[in-house]
Structure 1
Amino acid sequence: MLKTLINAFKIKDIKNRIFFTFFILVVVRLGAQLPIPGVSRDVFTAWFESQTSGAFDFFDAMTGGSFTQFSIFALNITPYITSSIIMQLMTIAIPKLEEMQKDGEDGRKKIREYTRYVTIALALIEGFAMGFGLYRSGSLMHNSALDIVMVTAALVAGSCLVMWMGEQITDKGVGNGISIILLINIISTIPNDFKVLYDKFMSGKNVVKAGLAGIIILAVILFIVIFVIYLQDGERRIPVQYSKKVVGRKLVGGSTSSIPLKVNTAGVIPIIFASSIMSLPGMIVGFLGKTPGGIPGHILATLNSSNWCRISQPVYSIGLLIYIVLVVFFAYFYTSITFNPLEVADNMKKQGGFIPGIRPGKPTSDYLNKILSNIIFIGAIGLIIVAIIPIFCAGVFGVNVSFGGTSLIIIVGVVLETLKQIESLMLVRHYKGFLND
């Protein structure tokens, strides 16, 4: 990895792309500190700390602390991520969008345009909800309708600006812009997380106990990182043989290829979906400022991840079982809408390809379905292991950190993908140099 970066800085074009990406990220982090006029940060921070929903912690990590700061980038890239997922689902459900997706670069540009419109709509809804919530709590300067409009406009403008900067990174920088911004947001919260771990396990202890605690913490983090790397890079290669055929007077074909099926086919999406569904009731109640008691209160406590794995309240860990079921379900669901074994089998048949020992057509599709089902289950178990470790630590030891589980999957995935793109840019550069010579 270090060697790739060193070599990249030797090539002027790639070096300029890296510096451009760095400049945009600096602007993003500066924007995360700019407050929205007319809103008291202290009041909003106090409200945030009074909430116990794990969703707000993850949401704040995705925004790089912009949410708790209630800056103009408080919504950050979350509306864009949500709109991208919605558009991906709609592409499967709506035939016209599916055709557009297959219509080459022009179709994909149109879908990206629709994604921007959905992003603005979601930002308007979320911005108004937050502005109205602050109005109800009396946290705005004049507590008037104009203040609500001002807060909504600032949040929408901030979200659109971050979306635009992400697209600029994609076009003129390195990596996927939105993913890079998400990465730097999560990384920005890590120093504070290490401080939390230090205060909890090392501060005030003697040298031996503090050192042992530090070694254990580093070992757990290292294990999770290595595990996530294997989970992200792991794949099952299905061999494909192409039959020979006569074209004109030549005999072509007969090559061997493979279909790479990733172990973690759905990425971090199952965890995001499951976490969103589990935390949505708590978020709604938090914004409304109501704390229900009785059975509704116990249901909300069961859905709240901060109550799981607590020895004093084991009944609330039922929510963890529901969470695991949802992760497995969404792993299968998301993969089923993004990978179509029947379509792959038909394309292979048209091109004269076949899997050795498997007849073309439906038998190939059934074989891919069987292999895919096993791989999805293994990937889902891997996701659950990564997600449960920080939940277990929070429940048993009372330590809440944002870089565990989902965040590490995002960090590792984005870093690996960005390095691959840098390597591909270097490869293209060498090819161009060879042709120019």
Structure 2
Amino acid sequence: MPLGGQKGLGELWARLKFLFLAIVVYRLGTHIPVPGIDPEQVAQLFNQNQGTILGMFNMFSGGALERMSILALGIMPYISASIIMQMMSSVTPSLEALKKEGESGRRKISQYTRYLTVALATVQAFVMVAGMSGQGMAYAGMPVFSFYLIAVTSLVTGSVFMMWLGEQVTERGIGNGISMLIFAGIVAGLPSAVGQAFESARQGDLHVLMLLALLFAAVAIVWFVVRMERGQRRITIQYARRQAAGRMGQGPAQTSHLPLKINMAGVIPVIFASSILLFPASIAQWFGNASEGKAAEILQEVALMIGPGQPLNFVIFAVLIVAFCFIYTAMMYNPKEVADNLKRGGAYIPGIRPGEQSAKYIDNVLTRLTVVGSVYIAAVALLPQFLMVSANVPFYLGGTSLLIVVVVVMDFMSQVQSHLMSHQYDSVMKKANLQSYGRGR
């Protein structure tokens, strides 16, 4: 193997080792408990609040929330801050101008995102500690002020560490660091879930044919997600013919494509819809159990109606996913800006006038794609829940988790292939240069 190829593979191996080390550090951190918390009380709380927003956050944190570790907040404050900054960059003129300044503007926005992450983590940690203190999860005899100070500081520090670790993985590892940490947290519980399924089949609680059908359904859903995530609508783009240098004629027209993904919004709509739907159910259940009287009965009834597995839950969840797909796509992709960029670059869509007509055409295509993409995301998000409710089968990966896992794996594999191809290209170029040098002598 050429020296350049060995060096390239060494760099790829170093990045993979750093990614593996970061995941090991993250998984070790999920087992370090917050000082002053009674783990038995925490386990009892999660048993009482199954199917609420706690379950989703616990999934994303890799079980750290259930163990109430210093990484219990996980990466969610950073994700929330990033989404808020993305939305504000689309509606705030100063941030929108800052985003167009290039690398310096992106660094400034990243700095604002970190500050917002610390603020959100502090608020969430304080609310979490207050809830734990109110339900008697702190050890008896520990001063209230000391408990609040130690617990809030531990949770905020853990969240900031997760943010820093994710950025380090992005810079020195493979793939997006935040996505890789979420992926590691979700997959961490997969072996135990598979073991429980096989144990249920061995004891006769789950039929073997049902287990095989469940495996087939999981493979089919993954295949469907991969096909849809790779799906694109390519709009043909042509560049105006230019005068050929030193000739009377014109040069040939260049043809390119404007790719539009079927799922432009990614998994953000599912995360938003899950949070908005589960949060009222959780609040209603908590306050309903804590209070008495007519109000408590109404809250418990509301929690039951919109809880997981209920028909109203499916309807509201689907409507929220479709709505957020259109909202997020409209905020992140501006057809008018794309059309103006094409016009400035001397490009046009065949048969469509540049400018406003091109913007309308791109917007119509994007709207049709968003309809298909929103239906696809809603179907993938609801199908695992439908299987669990209708057939009473254990499906560990929910729709949101399944989408995240498949998309992250696809991105990881594509980046590994890009590294391998770039290193092979470098080695070929070096070999070609050496041969040219030898012929020149």
Q: How does 1:368-387 map to 2 (within 5 A)?
A: 368-387=362-381
- Contact 2:285/2:299 (CA < 8 Å) preserved in 1? no
Aligned to 1:220: 217
**Deviations, residues 209-252 of structure 1 (Å, cap 9, x unaligned):** 84312211111111111111112111111111111123764755
1:165-244 paired onto structure 2 within 5 Å: 165-200=165-200, 202-205=201-204, 210-244=207-241
Q: State whether residues 64 and 185 of structure 1, in contact with CA within 8 Å, keep that contact through their aligned partners in structure 2.
A: yes
Question: What's the Cα RMSD here?
Answer: 2.2
- 1:372 Cα deviation from its structure 2 partner: 0.8
Question: Which TM-score applies when normalising by structure 1?
Answer: 0.90
Residue 280 of structure 1 and its aligned partner are, at CA, apart by 1.4
Are 2:114 and 1:102 equivalent residues in the alignment? no
CA deviation profile, 1:9-62 (whole Å, cap 9, x unmatched): 981110110011100100000111111111011111110110144322221110
CA contact (8 A) 1:20 1:173 kept: yes
After TM superposition, the structure 1 stretch with the greater mean CA deviation from structure 2, 52-61 or 342-351, is: 52-61
In structure 2, which of residues 334, 338, 345 is the aligned counterpart of residue 344 of structure 1? 338
User: Which of 301, 306, 330 lines up with 1:303 in the alignment?
Assistant: 306
Per-residue CA deviations over 1:304-328 (Å, capped at 9, x if unaligned) read 22x42xxxxxxxx123212111111
Alignment gaps of 5+ in structure 1: 1-6, 309-316
Q: Which moved more, 1:30-39 or 1:274-283?
A: 274-283
- The answer on whether the counterparts of 2:62 and 2:184 sit within 8 Å (CA) in structure 1 is yes
Amino acid at match of 2:226: I
Q: Which residue of 2 aligns with 1:4?
A: none
Amino acid at match of 1:229: V
Greater CA drift, 277-286 or 111-120: 277-286
Pairing of 1:36-51 with structure 2 (within 5 A): 36-51=34-49
1:197 is aligned with what amino acid?
A
How many angstroms apart in 2 are the aligned matches of 1:401 and 1:157?
Answer: 33
- 2:17 is matched with 19
> What letter matches 1:12 in structure 2?
G
Structure 2 Cα separation of the partners of residues 143 and 382 of structure 1: 52
Equivalent residue for 1:81, pick from 79, 82, 105: 79
CA distance in 2, matches of 1:79, 1:400: 30
Q: Which one of 327, 331, 342 corresponds to residue 333 of structure 1?
A: 327
Cα distance in 1 between the residues matched to 2:127 and 2:337: 42
Distance 1:253 1:349, change over 3 A: farther
Instruction: State how far apart, in whole Å, the 1-side matches of 2:52 and 2:195 are.
Output: 19
Which residue is 2:418 aligned to? Answer: 424
Give the whole-Å Cα distance in 1 for the aligned partners of 2:79 and 2:29: 19
Q: How does 1:250-265 map to 2 (within 5 A)?
A: 254-265=253-264
Shift in Å, 1:299: 2.2
Q: Give 1:400 deviation, angstroms.
A: 5.6
Distance 1:249 1:299, change over 3 A: farther
User: Aligned-pair distance for 1:399?
Assistant: 4.6
CA distance in structure 2 between the partners assigned to 1:340 and 1:331 by the alignment: 14
1:156 has 2:136 as partner: no
- 2-structure distance, mates of 1:114, 1:380: 31
Once the two structures are overlaid, the 10-residue window that deviates more, 385-394 or 124-133, is 385-394
Structure 1, 23-32 or 294-303: larger mean CA deviation:
294-303
Change in Cα spacing, 1:252 to 1:127, as seen in structure 2 (3 Å) is farther
CA distance in 1 between partners of 2:422 and 2:51 (Å)? 47
| Range 406-415 or range 134-143, more displaced | 134-143
Task: Measure, in 2, the Cα distance between the counterparts of 1:135 and 1:175.
Answer: 39
> Quick check: which has more Rg, 1 or 2?
2
Shift of 1:199: 4.8
> 8 Å contact 2:52–2:278 — kept in the other structure?
yes
Residue 3 of structure 1: aligned partner: none
Residue 313 (structure 1) aligns with? none
Matches within 5 A, 1:266-415: 266-285=265-284, 290=290, 293-305=296-308, 307-308=309-310, 317-399=311-393, 401-415=395-409
1:359 CA drift (Å): 1.4
Q: Per the alignment, do residues 287 and 162 of structure 1 end up closer, same or farther by CA in structure 2, a change over 3 Å counting?
A: farther
- Change over 3 Å in CA distance of 1:8–1:436 after alignment to 2: closer
Residues in 2 aligned to 1:185 and 1:126: alpha-carbon distance in whole angstroms? 20
The 8 Å contact of residues 53 and 282 in structure 1, kept in 2 or not, is answered as no
SS of residue in 1 equivalent to 2:290: coil
Relative to structure 1, the CA distance from residue 159 to residue 241 in structure 2 (aligned partners, 3 Å threshold; closer, same or farther) is same
Q: What SS does the corresponding residue of 1:241 show, helix, strand or coil? A: strand
Q: CA deviation at 1:253?
A: 6.7
Q: SS at the partner of 1:11?
A: helix
CA offset digits 1:357-392 (Å, max 9, x no partner): 111111111111111111101111111111111211
CA distance in 2, matches of 1:129, 1:267: 30
Whether the aligned pair in 1 keeps the contact of 2:243 and 2:251 (CA below 8 Å) is yes
Q: Give the aligned partner of residue 438 of structure 2.
A: none
Deviation at 1:105, TM superposition (A): 1.1
State the shift of 1:418 in Å. Answer: 1.5
AA aligned opposite 1:293? A
Worse-matched range after superposition: 356-365 or 277-286: 277-286
| Contact residue 9 and residue 15 of structure 1 kept, 8 A | no
Preserved CA contact (<8 Å) 1:133 1:287: no
SS at match of 1:215: helix
> 2-side partners of 1:401 and 1:370: how far apart?
37
Query: Which ranges in structure 2 are unaligned for 5 or more consecutive residues?
Result: 432-441
Give CA deviations for 1:325-364 in whole Å, capped at 9, x if unaligned: 1111100000000000111111111111111111111111
1-structure distance, mates of 2:7, 2:52: 40
AA partner of residue 120 (structure 1): V
CA shift in 2, pair 1:252/1:295, >3 Å: farther
Instruction: Determine if contact 1:52/1:304 at 8 Å carries over to the other structure.
Output: no
Which amino acid is the alignment partner of residue 84 of structure 1?
S
